Structure 1
C-alpha cells in the first residue's frame, strides 16, 4: 500500500502486526521474513491467532462508493455538466475501478470487461445528474434568490463572444428538454418521475 509516496507493508501496535500485500505470494514472502527475523531474536509467531484476510471485490467497491467518490462529487449539484466533463468523469470512474480491482493498464482489459468483473455499471454520472435535478427542483419550488438566479435576467449588455453555458442550459442539454420545460416540470407532480426517467 502506497501512502504519500511511501510503501507501507505492515502496521504494528504493541505486540500485534498486520502485514499488507497485493497478492498471496507477496504476503507469504512477508510472513517468511517475519518468521526468520523473529527466530533470530528467540521469538515465534503464534499460529493460533494468525489470520489471513482477503478483501472481497464487493467490499472494495463499497469503500470506493463510501470514501472516494463522495470526495469527487463534492458540490456536484451545482456543476455545469458539459460533454467534456461527462467524458472525464466516466474516465475517472473507470480508473478508480481498475485501481481497486488491481487491473493494470498493460492488460488491455476493456471497460466492459472491468464492469463485468466488478459486477456493476457506470453510476457516477447518473448520481451526479440525479443530484443536479434534485437541486434544481429544490431551487424552483422556493420563491427566493436561487429561483430568481435561474429564471431571471441580468441587466446590462450582452458580453462579446461565445456565451457561457448556464446551469439551466446545461441540464436542458443532457436531459433532452427545454429550459422552459424544465421550469414548468419542477412545478408539477411529475418532477420525481422525470428525474427517474433521466437517470435510467
Structure 2
C-alpha cells in the first residue's frame, strides 16, 4: 500500500501550492515516508488515512524569498493489527532538489506515536506518579528516576512541592501550596522520548 494514496492533499488557498502538488510531488513524499516513517513503526500497516496541507496557506506567504511557503503539515493515522499509530508533524519541501525533510527547531519532531510507544509512555507516567506519591508520603528519602534510574531531588516544604530527575532531566514536577498545604498550581514536565537519544 502506498501511503500517499491514502492522503488527502489540500485544499490549498494559494496558486503556488495548487501548482506544486502533482504526481512527482506525491512520489517524492512517498519516498520520504518510506525513509523516515516506516522504520518507526512496530508492525505492518493495514490501512491509513491522512492529510497534507500548507502550514502557511496564503498567497502572501508564497513570494520568491519566502522561508515558509514550502512548509507542510502532515497528519497520519496508520492502522495495524495491534492498534493505530499517529503522526502530526511539519515537513519541508526543497523545491531545488525536490526532496522532503522534517521541520527542525524548537518543538518540531517527526515522531510516530505507535501502540508500543504509547504504552511505554503511559507506563513511565504511572511510574513517575508513584515516585511522587511516595515522596509526598515521606516513605522514601533517596528515590531514583523511574526512566533513567538517576538520582531524584525533592523539595517538600510549606510553600512548594518539587520532584525532579537531576541526572538527565527526565521529568520535573513543581507545584505551589496554599496555606493549608494543598497543591494549587504548577507544572509537570517530561522530556520527549526522542530527546533522550539526542
TM-score normalised by structure 1 residue count = 0.25
Greater helix content: 1
Larger CA Rg, structure 1 vs 2? 1
Higher relative contact order (CA 8 A, sep 6+): 1
Greater strand content: 2
